[in-house]
Amino acid sequence: MKVALDAQLAVGTATGIGEYVHGLAAALRDLGVDVATLAEATLSPWRFDRRLLWDQVLLPRRAARSGADLLHCASGTMPLFLPLPTVVTVHDVAWLRVQNHARFYARTYFGAFSLARYRHARRIVVDSTFSRTELCEFGGIDPACVDVVYPGVAPEYARLQRRSDGTTILAVGTVERRKNLAVLIRALPAVPYARLVSVGPRTPYAQECLALAGRLGVAQRVELRGYVSRAELIALHAECAVAAVPSRYEGFGYAAAQALCAGVPLVVSDAGSLPEVVGDGAPLIAPDDGQAWAAALREALGSSQAQLRAEALRAGAVTRFAWPAMAQAMTGVYQRALAT
């Protein structure tokens, strides 16, 4: 079997989907699958016009010339014209749920247009049972066509040695409205000995967060580092005291899975897929309950039991989010797609 894998979102400042593509390609190759990663380094995947050019023109051309048996569209979008039998990964339906602030053309393309295209895939992969339910409810898609395959977490997280600094709250992810960084800033005045470090590409929402920190008098304790390297991200997981994922909507929640595999005490919102992903591995807090976030963060920062519990849960998380198991499941999806 030869698979053409859409790897465009692994170009440049790769975030969660880029991590997904890198890990999947390597794990498939370890299983002996012939993988052709398709990408164009000169095109920014974060500019809408460049993304459209890639999805609808360059990707189908490259796939047709790849000699592959199957195309895996791993970034949640599909070409209008499919050159090969196609599997698509739908990470979430956030564009239909919580991205009303975005521009109309982006909401249409990543929302309704993409949803209509999913019906033309041989198989659909989602990152969680939550996302399968969302997709089937919004798209009228038969659940029998949808496979739940949890993404893997890079093995560097499982290998890191923890050395908590006792003060840092780490928030990982694009600084956009649905990630809800503001609730952590609102909690900071009630956690006076802590600092908040956010890593991930910024959107205009970042300026709102910085302005809020200024009004609350905690600006000196809020650091928005932007996109960071893999090495710096691993180091932050080794050193932070607690990881926080306050998102209002997640189709999976890479930041939560990475923290679990790293043995980092974790606090997450009770929204989206996060309860499913973390299980009993973290307190679940309503996304906008600032007082509850402050209390949960104080508990995680001030108790040695939080670190002991995180370490106890680590091995199970590493097994659950292992790339080899994910790649094995994905090859089964490919085989079913080709047999259809």
pLDDT of residue 312: 94
Q: What is the pLDDT of residue 95?
A: 85
- Average pLDDT rounded to a whole number, residues 301-306: 85
Burial (CB < 10 A; 0-12, 13-18, 19+), residue 255, is: buried
The answer to whether 45 touches 112, Cβ cutoff 8 Å, is no
Mean pLDDT for 129-138 is 93
Q: If you average pLDDT over residues 15-39, what whole number do you get?
A: 95
Residue 114 has what pLDDT?
A: 95
Give the count of beta carbons closer than 10 Å to the beta carbon of residue 13: 15
Higher-scoring residue by pLDDT: 140, 211: 211
Measured between alpha carbons, how far is 253 from 128 in angstroms, rounded to an integer? 10
* Residues belonging to the chain: 340
Task: Evaluate if residue 135 carries a pLDDT over 90.
Answer: yes
pLDDT at 139: 83
pLDDT of residue 203: 92
pLDDT band with cut points at 50, 70 and 90 for residue 338: very high
Q: Is the pLDDT of residue 101 over 90?
A: no
The string over 315-324, giving b where at least 16 C-beta atoms fall within 10 Å of a residue's C-beta and e elsewhere, is eebbebbbbe
The domains located in the chain, with CATH, are 2-152+322-339 (3.40.50.2000), 155-320 (3.40.50.2000)
Question: Does residue 73 carry a pLDDT above 90?
Answer: yes
pLDDT at residue 15 tops 90? no
Q: pLDDT averaged over the chain?
A: 95
Arithmetic mean of pLDDT, 82-89? 97
For residue 274, how many C-alpha atoms fall within 13 Å in the half-sphere facing its CB? 25
pLDDT at 14 over 80: no
Instruction: Give the per-residue pLDDT at 323.
Output: 97
- The whole-number pLDDT of residue 12 equals 80
pTM for the model:
0.93
Lowest mean pLDDT among 190-204, 242-256, 299-313: 299-313
**Six token digits for residue 298:** 């104080």
What confidence tier does 96 reach under pLDDT thresholds 50, 70, 90? confident
Tokens describing residue 181: 């960084």
Q: pLDDT of 30-55, one tens digit each? A: 999 999 999 999 998 889 999 999 99
Radius of gyration of the chain (CA): 20
pLDDT value for 292: 98
pLDDT of residue 13: 77
Residue 100's pLDDT is what? 74
Q: Say yes or no to pLDDT of 137 above 80.
A: yes
Q: 154-210: per-residue pLDDT in tens? A: 999 999 999 999 999 999 999 999 999 999 999 999 999 999 999 999 999 999 999
